[in-house]
């Protein structure tokens, strides 16, 4: 890039030609604030707010009849939202359901598909995965009577930031029954080659599933084409579904009909659910892996939030996301090189998720200084700063402004007025 690329005028030129720029006005963005924590919690959109009001109104006006009447009948809402999410994960509509939370869905999928037999008794994961996934896998091993020391294998990272696909494949030994991996590593933002890993797992007769929390709504997937066995995700990050928004899961159609490991009445066939029989007849689609009554008020924001993804398309979103993070890194290298920041996310676009990850010894206090200046980052212990420019509401000028503020903080040592320690929630 030329010197002009580091000016605010250049950033504004990029924004003027941005085909997704119109969606920024759809979100509530605090004045004089640059929000770069959308990979932890996406912003509220006016459409999501309206859809919550619509569901509340249906409760107010229809009461119990809201289950089957109104614009969005609650009884079918998990399926209708699943259809909208299917295109984001590259799945057929029957393979996706909106249900529960990330960890609850993982427990369901483990209970269903982790079936140790003969020599195949171990679960393969990685040492960089989000802790909740690890807790779930360990607890499901315990349920089956296996200890994590002997039956839980975690692929090592050579540098603490990235995983090598060849190391994962090498760990696919004959005693592995199931593999759980992240699609995008939550710290470094590395994108794993899900297609290749699925092919290699299936060559060894191993089932494989992916945690899509940091990729859904940020990059395209092709789960059905790749023949992934199952996947699960949250909806409050890039999908902007709100705090605690209902998650989702995918089950490959060749597995549909597999008895749910954790049965509950909302996994029943829709036509049979209110027969009230004590013999469950599971749904024929991914709805079989629901457990309890859907969390309708936590699903409501997704009605509006997902409509923007349907309109915009995931490919343009991914394209802008990569341009934003590439621009971000160029400015960081140009403006911040004297201050000791190290870029720890992948540089190659094919391997980079939706955020930039910086390391600095003073990361916690730098994040506090950024927040005091109206820049909202995400601190990751012990020394990480995640910065996630979201394609639907962040601008190139946001990025330019952030780097200028960060440069000022470092030049004037403003971070020293803060304690280098994380808050309760980081």
List, edge to edge, every strand of the sheet that includes 342-343: 342-343, 356-359, 384-387, 378-380
Please give the DSSP secondary-structure letter assigned to residue 117. Answer: B
Classify residue 42: in a domain, yes or no.
no
Lowest pLDDT segment from 12-16, 159-163, 252-256, 418-422: 418-422
pLDDT tens, residue by residue, 197-222 = 999 999 999 999 999 999 999 999 99
Residues 235 and 361 in one domain: no
Residues 300 and 400 in one domain: no
Classify each residue of 160-194 as buried b or exposed e, where b means 16 or more C-beta atoms within 10 Å of its C-beta. Answer: ebbbeeeebbebbeeebbbbbbbbbbbbbbbbbeb
Confidence of residue 195 (pLDDT cuts 50, 70, 90): very high
Two tokens, residue 222: 């092709």
Residues 242 and 172 in one domain: yes
pLDDT tens, residue by residue, 320-334 = 999 999 999 999 999
Please give the DSSP secondary-structure letter assigned to residue 260. Answer: P
Overall domain count for the chain: 2
> Is residue 2 pLDDT above 90, yes or no?
no
Confidence of residue 419 (pLDDT cuts 50, 70, 90): confident
Tell me what pLDDT residue 288 has: 98
Confidence of residue 24 (pLDDT cuts 50, 70, 90): very high
Given 311, 333, 359, which residue is the final one in a domain? 311
Q: For the chain, what percentages of helix, strand and coil (3-state, to nearest 5) are there?
A: 45, 15, 40
Residues 199 and 173 in one domain: yes
Instruction: Please choose, from the candidates 182, 224, 173, the residue with its C-alpha nearest in 3D space to the C-alpha of residue 200.
Output: 173
Residues 286 and 323 in one domain: no
> Is residue 426 pLDDT above 70, yes or no?
no
Q: Is 130 annotated as a binding residue?
A: yes
Strands (E) located in 80-211 = 96-98, 122-126, 152-155, 176-182, 207-211
pLDDT tens, residue by residue, 119-132 = 999 999 999 999 99
Confidence of residue 69 (pLDDT cuts 50, 70, 90): very high
Classify residue 38: in a domain, yes or no.
no
Residues 307 and 319 in one domain: no
Given 269, 288, 311, which residue is the final one in a domain? 311
Residues 292 and 345 in one domain: no
Angle subtended by helix axes 8-16 and 396-411, to nearest 10: 160
Two tokens, residue 188: 């470094």
Classify residue 74: in a domain, yes or no.
yes
Q: Is 211 annotated as a binding residue?
A: yes
Residue 323: which domain range?
3-31+313-417
**pTM of the predicted model as reported, rounded to 2 decimal places:** 0.96
Vertex 426: Cα angle to 367 and 415 (nearest 5): 20
Instruction: Please choose, from the candidates 371, 58, 33, 52, the residue with its C-alpha nearest in 3D space to the C-alpha of residue 240.
Output: 52
Tell me what pLDDT residue 423 has: 77
Q: Please state, in angstroms and rounded to a whole number, the distance separating the CA atoms of residues 385 and 36.
A: 11
Tell me what pLDDT residue 80 has: 98
Classify residue 423: in a domain, yes or no.
no
Classify residue 79: in a domain, yes or no.
yes
Tell me what pLDDT residue 424 has: 65
> Is residue 343 pLDDT above 60, yes or no?
yes
Contact assessment for residue 38 and residue 387, using Cβ atoms and an 8 Å cutoff: no
What is the average pLDDT score of the chain? 97
Please give the DSSP secondary-structure letter assigned to residue 248. Answer: E
Tell me what pLDDT residue 4 has: 85
Residues 290 and 377 in one domain: no
Q: Please state, in angstroms and rounded to a whole number, the distance separating the CA atoms of residues 376 and 372.
A: 9
> Is residue 162 pLDDT above 90, yes or no?
yes
pLDDT tens, residue by residue, 356-399 = 999 999 999 999 999 999 999 999 999 999 999 999 999 999 99
Q: Is 319 annotated as a binding residue?
A: no
Contact assessment for residue 325 and residue 405, using Cβ atoms and an 8 Å cutoff: no
CATH number of the domain that residue 185 is part of? 3.40.640.10
Please give the DSSP secondary-structure letter assigned to residue 250. Answer: E
Q: Please state, in angstroms and rounded to a whole number, the distance separating the CA atoms of residues 103 and 233.
A: 9
Residues 254 and 330 in one domain: no
Residues constituting the chain: 426
Classify residue 40: in a domain, yes or no.
no
Residues 159 and 257 in one domain: yes
Angle subtended by helix axes 46-62 and 296-312, to nearest 10: 140
Omega before 382 within 30 of 0, i.e. cis: yes
Residues 256 and 335 in one domain: no
Dihedral of CA 209/214/217/222: which sign? negative
Q: Is 238 annotated as a binding residue?
A: no
Q: Please state, in angstroms and rounded to a whole number, the distance separating the CA atoms of residues 236 and 6.
A: 33
Confidence of residue 346 (pLDDT cuts 50, 70, 90): very high
Q: Please state, in angstroms and rounded to a whole number, the distance separating the CA atoms of residues 149 and 7.
A: 54
Classify residue 164: in a domain, yes or no.
yes
Given 256, 288, 311, which residue is the final one in a domain? 311
pLDDT tens, residue by residue, 272-309 = 999 999 999 999 999 999 999 999 999 999 999 999 99
Residues 343 and 307 in one domain: no
Average pLDDT over residues 227-253: 98
Classify residue 43: in a domain, yes or no.
no
Q: Is 61 annotated as a binding residue?
A: no
Confidence of residue 425 (pLDDT cuts 50, 70, 90): low
Average pLDDT over residues 153-168: 98
Q: How many helices (H) and strands (E) does the chain have?
A: 13, 13
Burial class (CB in 10 A: 0-12, 13-18, 19+), 118: exposed
CATH number of the domain that residue 365 is part of? 3.90.1150.10
Q: Is 186 annotated as a binding residue?
A: no
Q: Is 265 annotated as a binding residue?
A: yes
């Amino acid at each position: 890039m030329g010197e002009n690329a580091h000016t605010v005028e250049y950033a504004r030129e990029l924004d003027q030609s941005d085909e997704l720029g119109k969606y920024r006005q759809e979100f509530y963005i605090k004045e004089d604030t640059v929000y770069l924590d959308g990979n932890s919690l996406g912003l509220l959109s006016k459409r999501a707010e309206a859809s919550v009001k619509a569901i509340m109104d249906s409760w107010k006006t229809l009461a119990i009849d809201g289950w089957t009447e109104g614009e969005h009948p609650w009884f079918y809402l998990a399926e209708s939202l699943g259809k909208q999410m299917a295109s984001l994960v590259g799945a057929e509509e029957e393979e996706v359901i909106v249900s529960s939370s990330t960890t609850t869905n993982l427990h369901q999928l483990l209970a269903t598909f982790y079936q140790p037999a003969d020599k195949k008794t171990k679960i393969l994961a990685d040492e960089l995965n989000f802790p909740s996934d690890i807790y779930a896998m360990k607890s499901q091993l315990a349920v089956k009577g296996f200890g994590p020391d002997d039956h839980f294998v975690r692929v090592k990272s050579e540098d603490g930031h990235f995983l090598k696909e060849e190391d994962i494949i090498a760990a696919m030994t004959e005693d592995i029954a199931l593999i759980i991996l992240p699609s995008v590593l939550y710290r470094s933002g590395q994108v794993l080659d899900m297609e290749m890993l699925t092919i290699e797992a299936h060559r060894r007769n191993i089932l494989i599933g992916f945690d899509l929390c940091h990729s859904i709504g940020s990059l395209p997937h092709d789960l059905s084409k790749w023949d992934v066995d199952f996947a699960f995700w949250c909806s409050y990050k890039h999908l902007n579904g709100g705090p605690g928004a209902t998650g989702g899961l995918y089950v490959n159609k060749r597995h549909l009909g597999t008895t749910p490991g954790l049965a509950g009445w909302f996994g029943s066939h829709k036509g049979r659910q209110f027969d009230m029989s004590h013999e469950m007849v599971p749904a024929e689609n991914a709805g079989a892996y629901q457990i309890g009554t859907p969390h309708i008020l936590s699903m409501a924001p997704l009605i509006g939030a997902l409509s923007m993804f349907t309109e915009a398309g995931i490919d343009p979103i991914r394209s802008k996301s990569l341009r934003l993070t590439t621009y971000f890194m160029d400015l960081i290298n140009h403006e911040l090189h004297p201050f000791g920041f190290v870029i720890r996310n992948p540089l190659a676009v094919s391997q980079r998720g939706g955020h930039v990850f910086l390391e600095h010894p003073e990361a916690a206090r730098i994040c506090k200084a950024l927040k005091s200046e109206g820049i909202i980052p995400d601190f990751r212990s012990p020394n990480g700063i995640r910065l996630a420019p979201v394609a639907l509401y962040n601008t190139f000028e946001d990025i330019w402004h952030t780097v200028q503020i960060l440069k000022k903080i470092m030049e004037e040592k403003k971070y020293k007025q803060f304690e280098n320690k994380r808050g309760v929630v980081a």
